[in-house]
Amino acid sequence: MEYRKLGESGLKISELSFGSWVTFVNQLNEKDAMSCMAYAYDKGVNFFDNAEAYAHGESEILMGDILKKLKWDRDTYIVSSKVFWGGDLPTQKGLSKKHIHDACNAALMRLKVDYLDLFFCHRPDPETPILESVYAMNDLLQQGKIMYWGTSEWSAQEINEAFLCAKKFNLRGPTMEQPQYNILCRERFENEYREIFKKYRIGSTIWSPLASGLLTGKYCNGVPKNSRFKVKGYEWLAQSMDSVDFNKINRINDLSKKINIKPSQLAILWCLKNKNVSSVILGASKLSQLKENLDSLNYLNLITDDIIEEINGY
Ligand code: NDP
């Protein structure tokens, strides 16, 4: 495992990390989630991603229970939470100063840690002035409740505004962004953020490297049983299949066969080849998937510039 600097910060984050969206609670019970976290940690993963919204807070409770049981030293791992979707009431959502403070305190309780390493604004909130959210994050930094704050799926313009507010009032701007990035979803990361990466050197912890599993190739003949698109409450994901370019996915499958690795591994390594990526967050509903995905690091040398060019041309 290699470790990359998280943007301009001094924090070294593992290039592959592990997240809990959909899987924790819905697909992984405590025993299986613990096996995955323990395996990942043994392989050098140091970042575990979570959010107040995941399984309505239950995902953080589960991860917190596991962290307690595994008894890792607190200075050996990075754990995150995200604020935005905390509940149905008007005060329980968005990026107001109040909800940012409440969400942070609640996440600390659920994860059973004294501080969060990374705390993300899970989406932009058009109803709250960006300056208010930047101030709230700065407060949490000063209180030692979070180490770094970031954005998730903010536009380049919104990120720019956060930095301008921070500069004007001598506050800390975002250290990282958490966008979707994979072979099927490239526009924002590669084009819209181009200037942001150059100007502010922010880090990135990217999500859905396998496009929720599409890039494993297993959806090419329809939705398989026991897959994410069949998980109760996540059926909406299947709707996206109408616009998926399965021709591209088939070509990825063929290319991965040619170089003798799994399509999932090729898709993960393609993400890692982009130096603006600080960490690729993996998701897995089974330990065997996590093993296969972490194993991709053994094949990094197979991913030449020609391979990347070929994929980018599909
Ligand atoms: P992926 O795109 O890698 O999808 C993971 C899912 O794909 C698994 O749960 C599994 O689903 C399937 N899968 C993974 N590996 C394999 C394999 N080798 N063979 C077959 N199937 C496989 O990542 P996620 O979408 O889970 O995103 C990763 C993390 O990013 C999340 O856990 C979360 O922490 C973060 N995230 C952040 C978001 C944000 O808005 N900031 C949004 C979404 C995610 P199954 O077995 O059920 O088919």
Q: Which of 3, 41, 54, 115 is catalytic?
A: 54
Q: Whose CA is nearest to atom 4 of ligand 1?
A: 212
Look at residue 259 and tell me if it is in a domain.
no
Q: What is the pLDDT of residue 213?
A: 97
Look at residue 295 and tell me if it is in a domain.
no
Look at residue 111 and tell me if it is in a domain.
yes
Look at residue 232 and tell me if it is in a domain.
no
Tens of pLDDT along the chain (314 residues)?
A: 999 999 999 999 999 999 999 999 999 999 999 999 999 999 999 999 999 999 999 999 999 999 999 999 999 999 999 999 999 999 999 999 999 999 999 999 999 999 999 999 999 999 999 999 999 999 999 999 999 999 999 999 999 999 999 999 999 999 999 999 999 999 999 999 999 999 999 999 999 999 999 999 999 999 999 999 999 999 889 888 889 999 999 999 999 999 999 999 999 999 999 999 999 999 999 999 999 999 999 999 999 999 999 999 98
Residue matched to tokens 């994979």? 182
Give the distance (Å) from ligand 1 centre to CA of residue 214. 10
Look at residue 245 and tell me if it is in a domain.
no
Locate the ligand 1 atom nearest the alpha carbon of residue 182 and give its number: 2
Cα–Cα separations (whole angstroms), residue 145 to 107, 138, 307: 10, 10, 43
Q: What is the pLDDT of residue 278?
A: 98
Residues at CB less than 6 angstroms from ligand 1: 19-21, 23, 27, 49, 122, 152-153, 178, 207-213, 216, 218, 227-228, 264, 281-285, 289, 292-293
* Cα gap 228→237, rounded to integer Å: 8
Q: What is the pLDDT of residue 126?
A: 98
Give the distance (Å) from ligand 1 centre to CA of residue 94. 24
Locate the ligand 1 atom nearest the alpha carbon of residue 211 and give its number: 2
Q: Which two tokens stand for residue 203?
A: 């880090």
Give the distance (Å) from ligand 1 centre to CA of residue 23. 8
Locate the ligand 1 atom nearest the alpha carbon of residue 152 and give its number: 41
130 touches 160 (CB < 8 A):
no
293 touches 264 (CB < 8 A):
yes
269 touches 293 (CB < 8 A):
no
Look at residue 244 and tell me if it is in a domain.
no
Give the distance (Å) from ligand 1 centre to CA of residue 185. 14
* Cα gap 80→90, rounded to integer Å: 24
Helices and strands of the chain, counted as H and E runs: 12, 10
Q: What is the pLDDT of residue 240?
A: 84
Q: What is the pLDDT of residue 235?
A: 86
* Number of domains, the chain: 1
Look at residue 294 and tell me if it is in a domain.
no
- The answer to whether 54 is a known catalytic residue is yes
Look at residue 305 and tell me if it is in a domain.
no
The CATH number of the domain where 165 resides is what? 3.20.20.100
**Domain of 59?**
3-216+275-284
